[in-house]
């Protein structure tokens, strides 16, 4: 048998492993997909003007990119059966609410990006259900920065305390900084090495001696307080961060004075050895 029909029949006989080796995705759906090294399946739904998560995503997806769309709610069944998902980017959407079971099948998820959405905390409700992160036992990186946290209120509005207790594998946390202390709810985060609070929604003002008390069990090595309107340090600020080796104070009020206050918290030799080359007050 010759001609186009022969080629069509041959293509139908090619299994997924061959397509994978060629970097080709055998699934046809709303979003394009491709295989990368180690048979890693990436589905790229970036900037497709989506109002919801498509219901035709390949169940074997490892990386799912949904950034820069118009998604407003994460429903309980949006990501159901996606057991292989390791990397989920939902940044730069309009997400205001996350169903408590939205991540129920994502026990293997390692990276979750929810930054630049509309997730809020106010006096009557929160976008964060207390158990929303409960299934994410493998999560190592979480970014919830640049949401309308609104830390300028006289009494800081904290994230619900229960959302942190399940994130025991977390290594990097990026969140909107505020003057409320890290409390006992963070004591279970024994793997966290990087904490980023700086950004356009960060407002700390005074760094108190108890601000980082809840992190005393975390081996935090990197701390970003850039652009947090830091004006003063009160007491032994770094006493609960004995492993700290990188500190950013870029773009703060009276940056030089703040830098001097921070340096005074450490011995001269220690500050030079551990922080000297990083303490630039301008980019």
Residue whose structure tokens are 């490892």: 62
The C-alpha atoms of residue 156 and residue 231 are separated, in whole angstroms, by 17
Q: What length is written for the chain?
A: 283
Per-residue pLDDT 10s for the chain (283 aa) are 444 433 333 344 444 444 444 445 767 789 999 998 778 999 999 999 999 999 999 999 999 999 999 999 999 999 998 999 999 999 999 999 999 999 999 999 999 999 999 998 765 567 888 889 999 999 999 999 998 865 444 455 677 788 898 999 999 999 988 877 788 889 999 999 999 998 888 888 888 889 999 999 999 999 999 888 888 888 788 889 999 988 888 887 755 565 666 666 654 445 444 554 344 444 3
Dihedral over Cα of 219, 224, 230, 233: its sign:
positive
| Domain ranges (residues) in the chain | 1-148+156-176, 193-283
Q: Count CA atoms within 13 Å of residue 173 on its CB side.
A: 23
> Could you tell me which residues come within 8 angstroms of residue 215 by beta carbon, excluding any fewer than 6 positions away?
182, 186, 189, 192, 195, 240, 241
What the block records as the tokens of 258 is 């703040």
CATH placement of domain 1-148+156-176: 3.80.10.10
Residue 235 is predicted with a pLDDT of 77
DSSP string covering 64-88, please?
EE--SS---EE-TTTTTT-TT--EE
Residues sharing a CB contact under 8 Å with residue 267, sequence separation 6 or more, in sequence order: none
Strands (E), the chain: 33-36, 40-44, 63-65, 73-74, 87-89, 97-98, 111-113, 141-143, 172-174, 194-196, 206-207, 222-224, 232-233, 246-248
Rounded Cα–Cα distance for residues 16 and 246 (Å): 46
CA distance 45 to 243: 39
């Amino acid at each position: 048998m010759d001609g186009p029909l022969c080629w069509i029949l041959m293509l139908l006989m090619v299994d997924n492993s061959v397509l994978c080796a060629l970097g080709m995705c055998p699934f046809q759906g709303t979003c394009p997909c491709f295989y990368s090294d180690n048979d890693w399946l990436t589905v790229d739904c970036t900037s497709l003007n989506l109002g919801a998560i498509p219901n035709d995503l390949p169940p074997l997806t490892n990386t799912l990119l949904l950034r820069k769309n118009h998604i407003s709610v994460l429903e309980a069944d949006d990501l159901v059966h996606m057991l292989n998902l390791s990397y989920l980017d939902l940044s730069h959407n309009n997400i205001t609410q996350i169903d408590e079971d939205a991540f129920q099948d994502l026990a293997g998820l390692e990276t979750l990006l929810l930054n630049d959405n509309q997730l809020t905390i106010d006096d009557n409700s929160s976008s964060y259900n207390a158990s929303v992160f409960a299934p994410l036992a493998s999560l190592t990186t979480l970014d919830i920065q640049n949401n309308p946290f609104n830390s300028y209120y006289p009494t800081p509005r904290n994230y619900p305390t229960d959302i942190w207790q399940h994130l025991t594998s977390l290594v990097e946390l990026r969140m909107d900084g505020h003057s409320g202390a890290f409390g006992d709810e963070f004591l279970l985060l024994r793997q966290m090495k990087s904490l980023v609070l700086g950004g356009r929604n960060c407002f700390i003002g005074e760094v108190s001696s108890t601000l980082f008390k809840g992190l005393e069990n975390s081996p935090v090595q990197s701390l970003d307080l850039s652009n947090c309107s830091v004006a003063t340090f009160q007491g032994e600020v770094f006493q609960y961060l004995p492993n700290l080796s990188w500190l950013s104070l870029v773009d703060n009020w009276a940056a030089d004075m703040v830098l001097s206050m921070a340096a005074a918290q450490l011995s001269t030799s220690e500050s030079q050895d551990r922080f000297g080359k990083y303490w630039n007050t301008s980019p």
